[in-house]
Structure 1
Amino acid sequence: MKLKKVMALALAGALSVGMLAGCGGSSSSSDSGSTASNKNLKELTFVIASRDEFMSSLEQAMSSEAEKLGYKIVTQDAINDAAKQIQYLETCANSGQEAAICLMVDAEAAQSLVDAAGDMKLVFVNRPPTDLHVLDAENVCYVGSDEDTSGYYQGEYLAQYFKDKGQNEIKYLMVQGTLGQVSTTKRSAGVLKAFEDNGITATEASAPLVADYDRPTAQEMIQPLLSSGTKFDCIIANNDAMALGCVEACKDVGIDIDFPIVGIDCTKDGAQAVEEGSLAMTVFQNPVGQGRGAVIAAMNMINGDAVNKGMEEYALDDSGKSYSDSIAWVPFEPVTKDNVADYM
């Protein structure tokens, strides 16, 4: 494990707990014995959009960090229903909870979620609001990773890969997540920007495939293209799950993977695939950092402190916008076979 990850975990254990109350009716929870000075306040609600491999890792990391701080995370799963998220936040606010964490179903609905939270502090995690002006460091903040950099790391890797082969023109297959999500838009744009910046002329081998970040969907959607003999130089997926679906599709149709397939998130399965060579690279998105950061940011807002107090390794946004002090960035990190052991 990288030194900075170890330091982050140690720092989290040293922080004191703010005043966080919970709301009932959880769909799942992580219980722990309290080590906090106020044992009457043990719960913090996490309203999640739905579960996939990465989001489950984030949820578990959040629960683990919360346990060290003396309280438990109570998770409400909206099952991709934006209206349910609003209802859950209203219930929490009406019950007197001081803060909640939300991983949004619909980034366009951020203002409705802020309205539902009322006077309760609200932390958006992982998926930023489409309109960042809803953020206010005193009451509403965002903790996550800058998606402008995730796809760019993919593009930088691929650009160097093809330059080393003496190739400046390529055709690619793009497998995208859910259309309209900020992560999908920025991850897709970032890789193409990196191609442009590094002198690679990249054209689509086919229209992008929209697989909604789902492994079986990606496997099913790309298989006809592979079977038809479509010519391409690489496969670019917006996350590891879809990249691994493409790997499985190649195996299904008997294609040797002698071209790069790249993903994002560095899930357990993604890291294993990089080590084995079926994925050329991935980009680490830090669920421990995001989960831990969301919990600490909630406490900081309650206590009137800077959003990233106690986790200064996660810098505040430096764009100079009105919402800059409301965003704590948890860095993405490129992962290849050379360094994948640090992430396993």
Structure 2
Amino acid sequence: ARMTRAAVEAKIPLVYVNRHPDTRELPAGVVTVASNDIEAGQLQMRFLAEKLGGKGNVVIIKGDLAQNATHDRTEGVKQVLKDYPGIRIVEEQSGEWTRNKGMDLTSNWLLAGIPFDAIIANNDEMAIGAAMALQQAGKTKGEIPVVGIDGLPDGLAAIKRGQLAASVFQDPKAQSSKAVDVALKLIKGEPVEPEIWVPFKLITPDQVALFEQNFN
């Protein structure tokens, strides 16, 4: 809010990229270019609900609890679950966006004998950690599907290896180019929407090659 206020007072156009300020209503001259994190969680859960045949137990590995992305991605999962009364969340804890924490949480749940059929992680790093813990516990690849979010090279490689069942792609190139376009419009005084949303996309194993092109 402080940055927004300073930009408005100085009459300098401001474009937020890949984040939405806490103030939901943005003043004139301030724009956010981002992806709607609720949509990412919805894509994850719809994919898994189909894979599980509409029934089973899931665990959620959340990001940093202080961040909007964590809240919204998890909220997206829970919105979809309203349509699937046969699927229950049996555990949800923060893995703080890291691979190690994702691995530790999953190991702890396995040791505690918590029954779960799938893992949803708020990002790929935690998802990869979870998959590593499953492997260490002697689970075969894909026995307990794991899904993440980001679709960066590490995540794509993990899908190829069969560690992750799917991920959700957040398009950094599209966000960047739209941010530049909107900044130029603001400078010229042209009208712009205060919020520009770049859609997330589900990545399944058969589409990995397509998404790898974003990083070539």
TM normalised by structure 1 equals 0.58
**Aligned-pair identity (%):** 33
Q: 1:294 & 1:178 partners in 2: Cα distance?
A: 26
Q: What does residue 190 of structure 1 align with? A: 76
Note the alpha carbon deviations across 1:26-55, whole angstroms, 9 max, x for none.
xxxxxxxxxxxxxxxxxxxxxxxxxxxxxx
Q: What does residue 227 of structure 1 align with? A: 111
Aligned partner letter, 1:184:
T
Matches of residues 104-253 of structure 1 in structure 2 within 5 Å? 111-117=1-7, 118-133=10-25, 135-136=26-27, 138-163=28-53, 168-197=54-83, 199-206=84-91, 208-253=92-137
Q: 1:160 & 1:229 partners in 2: Cα distance?
A: 25
Shift of 1:128: 0.8
Aligned partner letter, 2:46:
E
- 1:300 maps to which of 169, 185, 191: 185
**Contact map agreement 1:124 1:143 (CA 8 A) in 2:** yes
Aligned partner letter, 2:202:
P
Q: 1:304 & 1:161 partners in 2: Cα distance?
A: 49
Shift of 1:200: 4.2
Q: 1:274 & 1:332 partners in 2: Cα distance?
A: 17
Q: What does residue 198 of structure 2 align with? A: 330
Matches of residues 74-93 of structure 1 in structure 2 within 5 Å? none
**CA gap 1:292/1:201 in 2 versus in 1, 3 angstroms:** same
**Contact map agreement 1:145 1:332 (CA 8 A) in 2:** yes
Shift of 1:171: 0.9
Q: Is the radius of gyration larger for structure 1 or structure 2?
A: 1
Residue 44 of structure 2 aligns to a residue in which SS?
A: helix
Aligned partner letter, 2:81:
F
| Structure 1 alignment gaps of length 5 or more | 1-110, 308-324
Note the alpha carbon deviations across 1:124-144, whole angstroms, 9 max, x for none.
1112122221x13x4110001
Q: 2:98 & 2:111 partners in 1: Cα distance?
A: 20
Q: 2:167 & 2:136 partners in 1: Cα distance?
A: 22
Note the alpha carbon deviations across 1:57-103, whole angstroms, 9 max, x for none.
xxxxxxxxxxxxxxxxxxxxxxxxxxxxxxxxxxxxxxxxxxxxxxx
How many residues were matched structurally? 209
Shift of 1:276: 2.1
**Contact map agreement 1:125 1:290 (CA 8 A) in 2:** yes
**Contact map agreement 2:41 2:77 (CA 8 A) in 1:** yes
| Structure 2 alignment gaps of length 5 or more | none
Matches of residues 19-58 of structure 1 in structure 2 within 5 Å? none
TM normalised by structure 2 equals 0.90
Q: 2:202 & 2:46 partners in 1: Cα distance?
A: 10
**CA gap 1:302/1:125 in 2 versus in 1, 3 angstroms:** same
**Contact map agreement 1:143 1:290 (CA 8 A) in 2:** yes
Q: Which has the higher contact order (CA 8 A, sep 6+)?
A: 2
**Contact map agreement 1:170 1:200 (CA 8 A) in 2:** no
- Structural RMSD (CA): 1.6
**Contact map agreement 2:38 2:74 (CA 8 A) in 1:** no
Shift of 1:277: 1.5
Q: 2:73 & 2:156 partners in 1: Cα distance?
A: 19
Q: What does residue 210 of structure 2 align with? A: 342
Shift of 1:224: 1.5
